Every structure is written in structure tokens, then in C-alpha cells.
Amino acid sequence: MTSTIVTAAILAIGDELLSGRTKDKNIGHLADVLLLSGIDLKEVRIVADEQDAIVEALNALRKRYTYVFTSGGIGPTHDDITADAVSAAFGLTCEHDAEAMRLLAEMYKRREMEFTEARQRMARMPKGARHIANPVSTAPGFIVDNVYVMAGVPQVFQAMVDNILPELQKGSHLLTRSLPCPYGEGDIGTLLGAIQKAHPETSIGSYPKYDGQRFSTELVVRARDEAKLDAAANAISDMIRGLDAARAGSNPGPEA
Amino acid sequence: MTSTIVTAAILAIGDELLSGRTKDKNIGHLADVLLLSGIDLKEVRIVADEQDAIVEALNALRKRYTYVFTSGGIGPTHDDITADAVSAAFGLTCEHDAEAMRLLAEMYKRREMEFTEARQRMARMPKGARHIANPVSTAPGFIVDNVYVMAGVPQVFQAMVDNILPELQKGSHLLTRSLPCPYGEGDIGTLLGAIQKAHPETSIGSYPKYDGQRFSTELVVRARDEAKLDAAANAISDMIRGLDAARAGSNPGPEA
């Protein structure tokens, strides 16, 4: 069995995401979509509308992962600087794209609105970039190499994600199995560590929950091979049964 | 008037945040708290439970900002590797802290629970780190230099944030004023860019909204000086009134 590993990062751009004024909706949406495509989301960054910050994050992420998806900063106002920053990161000139100008001019003519200088900013992108169609408000996103630049408005972002999805390389689906566990991490930590060591081709996550009184955990096994997933999940179920039996030991019930 | 700029980054650690299985609650909480303290949140990163990823992010962020706050990865299981990663980032040895061992041993004795090897992992931290008290479940967070390492479970994270807040340097409060604007960014972009240029000591953000039919915007002015904030906000109000008048021009109402 061969498996294809495809990785991704999300770079969300915008002061409003850092000031707490806007709760981001794009990261969660794209994380879910990537999971279904077998693409491993490995890192998320949120940066301000500052060119240096965007360039640095973009150059770090695009060299490290198969894909980088950005959101925000491609509108018509002075604080929309993503096109300039992406151009700078790739050493390309940022210019008014002829096809984008045509699409936008047509749309505004149809709507009897002026195609202002500000609106023309939305046609700017790195020279040679490919478009991402925007069925909501026309102004396209764009693709340079492995970087997909999309709008921040959630309806537009999601429409753009739908449009790029068919061209993305799919990864082998990561199989996951979730096992609720009534014991806290302190009770299971040593045993669980041993299970992880014995099943190296799986990844076992332990997520503590606290109900205000006591801790329990949710244990999640991930693997690309179903037999290996089963083996690790079975070992965890055995561990939980063993702890149940030990707890019941001094007070056996009718079936014990 | 002098103003103090205090900056911060958040580093959220955990595979579960990237797989979409857990929606992070700590970033939004801390962003709100920092805003109230006048501390500028400049960057957020979410990385997996992988030592290299944590070390690299931490070393980048701690050199760049006044404070770095981390969440997650300080529990008792094998995937809790934040203490090791922070130690590695600072070149310190990671060891069982004597005071943390004492606190945990006492707590488990009181609760008649075994102080397992897994639970002892929660006492590990970089040599010489200071504690962050954990009133919820005892196991402390810790502080090394300008890095504050806290738990991922939201109740514990929030309690730890409450405990560190008194020692953080406060920044000059960033004043903000929000102006709803019925016009889309394309209508206001050029005018707004000119206003931003004329008010360089303010930061004017433009946040587009889309109701399914048309765009409007929320305009937010930020400044540390109230007079400068007022001046920019007044210029924006004038701009909106000017657009209203232009729109009403061909069809004057009874008061026009």
C-alpha cells in the first residue's frame, strides 16, 4: 500500500482577526474541506495587514508545504495589500491584470456603476498569476505557484475554495477512530504511551476534557492503513477494559 | 503624550486544532484580554504536536514580540511535548521541577490517587522556569523569559491567564471608533485611502460585509491619541455624508 502525503498551510491576513473584532470563519471551513480531501493541514498563521509580516510568513510556508491558502486583503481599499505582498514574496511585479480589468469593467457597466480607481485595485495581481473565479462579486482571486490567494469575506472565500478544489492533488485519506475514555490523562498516560510506541505507524491523540469536577479524555487514532488503525484502536479498548476491571475489582458486579 | 507599545503573539499547539476536530477557544479569549490591557496582538500561529514545528515558531515569535503566550501540550500523555520543545528552544534542560512535584504529590495524596509516572510528566519544565499557578487542576504552567506556557483546556487556560495578567506590562490603550458605512469598498476606496494618508497616526481599517445582495462596510479607526482619532473619524463621517448627498442629488427629498 502506498500513501500520498499532501500538506497545506493557511495564512489568514487581517488586523481585524487579531483585534478580536472579527472571529475568523475561513480557517475552520477550509480545515474541514482539506480533511475530506486527504490534505494534511500542518500550520495556520494569522498576521496583520503589514507587508513584511505577510511576505515573511508566505515565504516560510510556501517552501515547506504542498499548498498555501491565504484569505483576506484583496479588496479595493488602502489596507488591502495582499496582492503587493504576494508579488514581493515571489519577486514579481504587481500589475493590473488585463483579463481581470475586462471582467470587472463589464460587470460594473452592466450594473451601471463607475469602475473607480479603487475598484480597479481589485484587478491587481502578480504578473502571470492564474485566476480563481469569483461567482459572488467577480473580482478574482489568484494562484502563483503553490499559493492560492482568496478573499476574506466568507461567502466569497468559500466560493473560491469550491473553485480550486478540483485542481488540488488529493492525499491518501487519513483514517481516524475516536474512542471516548472515562479516565483522565494521568490514569492512562503511561499505558497509552506504550501503545503509541507499539503502533508507530499510527498517531494517537489524547484530548482532555474537564466538566468542572473531573477529567476524562477523548482518544483519537489516526492512520492511513485500516488494519493498523484497527490494531491500535483495539489495544486502546483493551486498556480501557483493563482499567474498568481494576476499578471494579474490589466490588464485583453480578456479571464479574 | 508618550505611548507604550507592548506586543504579543499566541502560539496554539495541538494536532486537534488543525484537524478541525477541536475549535480553538483560547485564541479569541486571550485576544479580548490583551486588547483590554493595551497589548497589541500581532501574530497567531497554530502548529501540530511536533517538536521542530514548535521550536521554530517559538524562536521566531519570542525574538519579535514583547510576549509569547502558548496553549496546549503540557498534560501527562506522550503527545504532550511542549515542555520539551520550550526547553529545546531556549537550550535548557527539561526536568521534573521539585516544587511542581511537591504540589502534585500532595494533591494526589489528598485525593487518594496514585501519582503515576504519567502524572509526574506534568511537573516537567525547563530548568529555572517560574510557575503559573493552576487553581483548577494544580499542574502549573510556566514562564521562561518572555514566553508564557499555559494549558490547552480552556478552563485551565483562562485561569492561568488571570494569574499572569497582573505581571504583564500594559500598553497605551488603543482607542478605536467604529463607523458603519452603507457603501461598498469600491465606492469609498479612493476617498478612504486619501483620508488614511491625511491621518498617518491613525490606522483605518475597512471591513466589507456582504448580505447576499450587496456590499457595505464597517470602517474602524484606531489611534492612541483621542484628538487624532476624532479628526480621522470626522473626515470619514464627512465622506459618508458627501456620498449620501451625491446619491440624493438627482432626487432631493423634502429637507434637501
Measured distance CA(B105)–CA(B114) in Å, rounded: 9
The pLDDT of residue B210 is 84
Measured distance CA(B185)–CA(A215) in Å, rounded: 49
pLDDT in tens, A199-225: 999 999 998 888 888 889 999 999 989
Is residue B82 within 8 A of residue B124, CB to CB? The reply is no
What are the residues facing B210 on neighbouring strands? B215
Min distance A200 CA to chain B CA atoms (Å): 12
DSSP per position, B178-217: EEEESS-HHHHHHHHHHHHHH-TTSEEEEEEEE-SS-EEE
The pLDDT of residue B1 is 47
All cell numbers assigned to B159: 485561569
Radius of gyration of chain B (CA): 24
Query: B203-210 and B175-181 as β-strands: parallel, antiparallel, unpaired?
Result: unpaired
- Nearest C-alpha neighbor of A167 from the set A134, A132, A197: A132
Is residue A151 within 8 A of residue A141, CB to CB? The reply is yes
Min distance B143 CA to chain A CA atoms (Å): 22
Measured distance CA(B128)–CA(B148) in Å, rounded: 14
Task: Tell me whether residues A119 and B32 touch, CB distance under 8 A.
Answer: no
A19 in reach of chain B (CB within 8 A): yes
Min distance A58 CA to chain B CA atoms (Å): 13
Task: Tell me whether residues A78 and B192 touch, CB distance under 8 A.
Answer: yes
Task: Tell me whether residues A205 and B79 touch, CB distance under 8 A.
Answer: yes
Measured distance CA(A203)–CA(A199) in Å, rounded: 8
Task: Tell me whether residues B212 and A155 touch, CB distance under 8 A.
Answer: yes
DSSP per position, A156-186: HHHHHHHHHGGGSPPPPPPEEEEEEESS-HH
pLDDT at B93 over 60: yes
All cell numbers assigned to B162: 488571570
Residues from chain B contacting residue A219 (CB–CB below 8 Å) = none
The pLDDT of residue A138 is 95
Min distance A145 CA to chain B CA atoms (Å): 23
Q: Supply the ipTM of this predicted assembly.
A: 0.85
* Amino acid symbol at B131: H
pLDDT at B2 over 70: no
3-state SS assignment for residue B55 = helix
Task: Tell me whether residues B44 and A18 touch, CB distance under 8 A.
Answer: yes
The pLDDT of residue A173 is 80
* Amino acid symbol at B160: M
The pLDDT of residue A253 is 40
Min distance B177 CA to chain A CA atoms (Å): 12
Task: Tell me whether residues A153 and B209 touch, CB distance under 8 A.
Answer: yes
Residue A111 φ/ψ, nearest 5 degrees? -90, 5
Which residues, numbered 175 to 204 in chain B, qualify as contacts with chain A under a Cβ-Cβ cut-off of 8 Å?
A: 176, 185-190, 192-193, 196-197, 203-204
pLDDT in tens, chain A (256 residues): 456 889 999 999 999 899 877 778 899 899 989 988 999 999 999 999 999 999 999 999 999 999 999 999 999 999 999 999 999 999 999 999 999 999 999 999 999 999 999 999 999 999 999 999 999 999 999 999 999 999 999 999 999 999 999 999 998 888 889 999 999 988 899 999 999 999 999 999 998 888 888 889 999 999 989 999 999 999 999 999 999 998 887 554 433 3
Q: Which of B75, B210, B220 sits opposite A155 (nearest CB)?
A: B210
- Name the pLDDT band for B88 (thresholds 50, 70, 90): very high
> How many secondary structure helices (H) and strands (E) does chain B include?
9, 11
How many CB pairs below 8 A link A and B? 186
Q: Which of A28, A79, A152 sits opposite B20 (nearest CB)?
A: A28
pLDDT at B128 over 80: yes
B139 to chain A: closest CA residue: A186
Measured distance CA(B9)–CA(A122) in Å, rounded: 30
Query: B175-181 and B215-223 as β-strands: parallel, antiparallel, unpaired?
Result: antiparallel
pLDDT in tens, B176-218: 899 999 999 888 999 999 999 999 999 999 988 888 888 899 9
B37 to chain A: closest CA residue: A19
Measured distance CA(B16)–CA(A108) in Å, rounded: 44
Residue A224 half-sphere exposure toward CB, CA atoms < 13 A: 14
The residue ranking higher by pLDDT, A163 or B20, is A163
Q: Which helix (H) or strand (E) holds A124?
A: strand A124-126
The pLDDT of residue B255 is 36
The pLDDT of residue B36 is 85
- Name the pLDDT band for B163 (thresholds 50, 70, 90): very high
B93 in reach of chain A (CB within 8 A): no
A237 in reach of chain B (CB within 8 A): no
Pick among A79, A111, A160 to test the B interface (most B CBs inside 10 A):
A79
Measured distance CA(A44)–CA(A165) in Å, rounded: 19
What are the residues facing A126 on neighbouring strands? A94
Burial of A212 (0-12, 13-18, 19+ CB in 10 A): exposed
The residue ranking higher by pLDDT, B2 or B151, is B151
Mean per-residue pLDDT of chain A: 92
Q: Considering only B1-5, B23-27, B118-122, B218-222, which range has the smallest mean pLDDT?
A: B1-5
- Nearest C-alpha neighbor of B163 from the set B124, B131, B126: B131
Task: Tell me whether residues B35 and A19 touch, CB distance under 8 A.
Answer: yes
Question: Can you say how many angstroms the Cα of residue B167 is from the centroid of all Cα atoms in its chain?
Answer: 17
Task: Tell me whether residues A192 and B113 touch, CB distance under 8 A.
Answer: no
Residue A123 half-sphere exposure toward CB, CA atoms < 13 A: 20
Contacts of residue A33, defined as CB under 8 A and 6 or more positions apart, other chains included, come to A161, A165
The pLDDT of residue A256 is 32
Measured distance CA(A214)–CA(A234) in Å, rounded: 25
Residues from chain B contacting residue A100 (CB–CB below 8 Å) = none
The pLDDT of residue B250 is 54
Burial of B129 (0-12, 13-18, 19+ CB in 10 A): buried
Domains assigned to chain A: 6-167 (3.40.980.10), 175-248 (3.30.70.360)
Mean per-residue pLDDT of chain B: 92
